[in-house]
Amino acid sequence: MGRATTGAPSERRIERIATEPDWYEPYRISQAVRAGGLIHVSGQAGIDERGRTVSDDFRTQGRQAFANVERVLTAAGASLADVVKVGIFVTDLAAHLEDIIALRGEFLSRPYPADTLLEVSSLARPDRQIEIEATALAPS
């Protein structure tokens, strides 16, 4: 499932992590990869298992995005407690800063992971308001 990279094969391995259904595959994107003791989760939006946006409500989309991150981490044998870094991308930071802080409190715990929060002009589809990527420690 993974591919070896330069260096000793046992030390430098990249493994693709996917869940079913994998709506990333047609776009040549991995939902996550395990490499060098870390799991890197691609941006997860507030979409259901059929790839449809769950709601036009920001917090509902945010909860689903975090749930999708958790789902991918579970497939890799990890959890949200293993997250060391998150990147949160939103289309309207001023309107949703308090929502983002509340969502962090719902899904992340102390010690809180490092975090980058960015406002973007758009996400993959116009109805999406938030996307979350994460880096987590891989289980040994």
DSSP string over 50-107: TS-B--S-HHHHHHHHHHHHHHHHHHTT--GGGEEEEEEEES-HHHHHHHHHHHHHHH
Q: Which two tokens stand for residue 101?
A: 């802080």
Residues ≥6 apart with Cβ < 8 Å to 140: none
The Cα diameter of the chain in Å comes to: 49
Instruction: Classify burial at 87, counting beta carbons within 10 Å of its beta carbon; exposed 0-12, middle 13-18, buried 19 or more.
Output: middle
Please give the Cα distance from 23 to 15 (Å, whole number).
18
Q: What is the mean pLDDT of the chain?
A: 91
Given a cut of 60, whether residue 70 has pLDDT beyond it is: yes
Range of the domain at 50: 2-137
- Which pLDDT does position 22 carry in this prediction? 82
Given a cut of 60, whether residue 10 has pLDDT beyond it is: no
Per residue in 76-119, pLDDT (tens digit) is 999 999 999 999 999 999 999 999 999 999 999 999 999 999 99
Given a cut of 60, whether residue 52 has pLDDT beyond it is: yes
User: Nearest-CA neighbor of 43 among 121, 138, 128?
Assistant: 128
CATH code of residue 69: 3.30.1330.40
Instruction: Classify burial at 14, counting beta carbons within 10 Å of its beta carbon; exposed 0-12, middle 13-18, buried 19 or more.
Output: middle
Given a cut of 50, whether residue 8 has pLDDT beyond it is: no
As a residue count, the chain comes to 140
Number of domains within the chain: 1
